[in-house]
Amino acid sequence: MDEPTCAVADTICRTIELGVAITGAGIDRDGSTHIFCEVRDPDPRCPECATAGQARDRVDRVLTDAPAAGHRVLLHVAVPRFVCHAADCSKSIFRADISGIVRPRAAVTRRTERWILRRIVIDKMSVAAVAANLGIAWKSVNQIAVDAARGLAYDGGHLDGVRHLGVDEHKWKHVRGQGDSSWVTVLIDLTPVIDCTGPARLLDMIAGRSKQVLKTWMTARDQRFRDRVKVVAMDGFTGYTSATAEELPKARIVMDPFHVELLAGEKLDRCRTRIQQATCGHRGRTGDPLYRIRRILHTRTDLLTDKQKILLFESLTSHDEHVAVDVTHQVYLQVIAAYEHPRRRERKKLMWKILTRIRAGLPPGLDELAQLGRTLWNRRKEVLAYFDVGVSNGPVEAINGRLEHLRGIAQGFRNLDHYILRSLRHSGQLAERINAL
């Protein structure tokens, strides 16, 4: 190709922004466009000793580029190789640096990675359609998109504003016998909710649910991010608590109110079913007193109708053995009332009184309430921290619900990387970041 033609081709294909110049082009039988180019102003300095090397030859690097006119494009980049004559240098032959064009060991150009992410996130194309346009494997496109989406979440200052973090577990695949492989750890940025600047956003999803999983993720973040996080909200899982305490020692750990109330409700249900078996000798049936109030027990008194109040009173007082259920029920209502008190200082006082009252010395027969007291007392710092900082995992549960809906629409996912990609696209607020590229 003559020089004017190459200049026009460079403009049309926008290869100038890649740092290469077109020297030739062709079309093969399957319709793919092959563009031959050379590196503009290659750096001859050795990466080890920075000594200028002597030109030796060039090697052809074949890269997949963004499609042109609906056809696959392959870039044949002639990468110069140099000889280093420095006596004390371990490298004898090295290639010119083309990291601005392509990542190390990658098969697609950097701008193709951005093109893939735009098509999937902005244009909502399927991975299969994008792979067909590029002429590469579905698995490769999916992995490139996942890595690019995570790169947007981690790089370019996207984590700079994260001060409040939410951590929770999420079941991404409902298949029996899968164990922890069907669970992921979800990390949510709660800062926009606390600052009233927008909704929470999904930062990442990691395979597994353990202390090591969360600890590894936190270790991979830079020290500025770890120093910036002030509050981490989570459920009662001690693995997450230990990982956070070790990796973010300055952060305040908060046990979410929803999970505290959920834990108290579970103990109430266990107490009811135990007493049900002890008094009736079988599981709950329609006419059994405790079975009839199984839902009423989880409703606040001021929300009950007169008929429900009478039914609750009669069921709890019909047998002396039902006293244990009555006492556990009262504690459950007190936990809810502590969180709903209009004044924050009084909320903390009420919760402290509950914790000190049930932590030890309970009468026999209140086994479930004693378990609840020991658990909450061991986690009292995290439980009471909520009343000081006011950060909860509510937005995390909301995003979990959206992801459940996403999985239902797709009728389930089999590939975890693909599920992470779709989740980041759905709740990661990546569109603005992609448009800014």
Q: Is 320 in the same domain as 349?
A: yes
- Of the chain, the end-to-end C-alpha distance in Å amounts to 32
Alpha helices, DSSP H only, in 197-293?
Answer: 211-220, 223-228, 238-247, 257-280, 289-292
Phi, psi (5° rounding) for residue 326? -60, -45
Name which of 384, 373, 372, 430 is nearest 114 in CA terms: 430
Q: Is the pLDDT reported for residue 205 higher than 60?
A: yes
At residue 437 the predicted structure's pLDDT band, cuts being 50, 70 and 90, is: low
**Mean pLDDT computed over every residue of the chain:** 88
Contact between 203 and 188 (Cβ < 8 Å): yes
Comparing 8-12, 22-26, 225-229, which segment has the lowest mean pLDDT? 8-12
pLDDT band at 4 (very low <50, low <70, confident <90, very high): low
Assess if residue 123 is contained within a domain.
no
pLDDT per residue over 163-201, tens digit each? 999 999 988 887 776 667 889 999 999 999 998 888 898
Predicted confidence (pLDDT) at residue 413 exceeds the cutoff of 70? yes
Nearest-10 crossing angle of helices 323-340, 257-280: 170
Q: Is the model's pLDDT at 412 over the cut of 80?
A: no
Is there a contact between 39 and 22 (Cβ–Cβ < 8 Å)? no
Q: What pLDDT was estimated at residue 336?
A: 94
Q: What is the pLDDT of residues 276-312, one digit of tens each?
A: 999 888 888 888 889 999 999 999 988 999 999 999 9
Residue 367 domain flag: yes
Predicted confidence (pLDDT) at residue 218 exceeds the cutoff of 70 = yes
pLDDT, position 91: 84
Q: How confident is the model at residue 372 (pLDDT cuts 50, 70, 90)?
A: very high
pLDDT band at 330 (very low <50, low <70, confident <90, very high): very high
DSSP assignment string, 96-108: PP-TTTS-TT-SB
- Please determine, for residue 344, whether its predicted confidence score (pLDDT) is greater than 90: no
390: left (phi over 0), alpha (psi -120 to 50) or beta: left
Confidence class of residue 8 from pLDDT cuts 50, 70 and 90?
A: low
Distance of CA 413 to the CA centre of its chain: 16
Domain assignment of residue 20, yes or no: yes
Q: Are residues 238 and 263 in the same domain?
A: no
| Host H or E run for residue 12 | helix 3-13
Q: Is the pTM of this model over 0.85?
A: no
315 burial (CB, 10 Å; 0-12 / 13-18 / 19+) is buried
pLDDT at 156 over 60: no
Domain co-membership, 289 together with 250 = no
Report if residue 152 sits inside a domain: no
pLDDT range class, residue 153, cuts 50, 70, 90: low
Q: Tell me if 124 is assigned to some domain.
A: no
- Asked if residue 334 has pLDDT above 70, the reply is yes
* Degrees, nearest 5: CA angle 90-88-39: 55
In a domain, 372, yes or no: yes
Residues 269, 197, single domain; the answer is: no
Looking at the fold, whether 354 and 285 belong to one and the same domain comes out as: yes
> Is 299 within 8 Å of 309 (Cβ atoms)?
no
**Residue 188 within a domain:** yes
Confidence of residue 384 (pLDDT cuts 50, 70, 90): very high
- pLDDT per residue as tens digits for the range 243-259: 999 999 999 999 999 99
Which range marks the domain in which residue 72 is found?
A: 3-107
Tell me, yes or no, whether 176 lies in a domain. yes
252 & 396 share domain: yes
Query: Mean of the pLDDT values across residues 137-161?
Result: 79
Contacting residues for 208 by C-beta, under 8 A, at least 6 apart: 180, 181, 183, 184, 185
Q: Within 10 A of 309 (CB to CB), how many other CB atoms are there? A: 12
Are 281 and 244 within one domain? no
Higher pLDDT among residues 151 and 330, named by residue? 330
Q: Do residue 177 and residue 214 come from a single domain?
A: yes
pLDDT of residue 155: 61
The pair of structure tokens assigned to 222 is 């830079």
Q: What is the mean predicted confidence (pLDDT) over 262-268?
A: 95
pLDDT band at 85 (very low <50, low <70, confident <90, very high): confident
CA dist., res. 106 & res. 114, Å (int): 14
55 and 17 together in one domain: yes
Q: Are residues 219 and 190 in the same domain?
A: yes
Q: Check whether 326 has a pLDDT greater than 80.
A: yes
Question: What is the rounded average pLDDT of the residues 269-278?
Answer: 93
- State residue 325's pLDDT score: 94
Crossing angle for the helix pair 138-154 and 110-117, nearest 10 degrees?
A: 90
Closest CA to 190 of 233, 154, 224, 160: 233
Q: At 405, is the pLDDT very low, low, confident or very high (cuts 50, 70, 90)?
A: confident
Q: Are residues 301 and 374 both part of a single domain? A: yes
Q: So what's the pLDDT on residue 216?
A: 93
Q: For residue 115, what is the enclosing H or E element?
A: helix 110-117
* Residue 329 contacts residue 295 (beta carbons within 8 Å): no
- Count of the separate structural domains present in the chain: 3
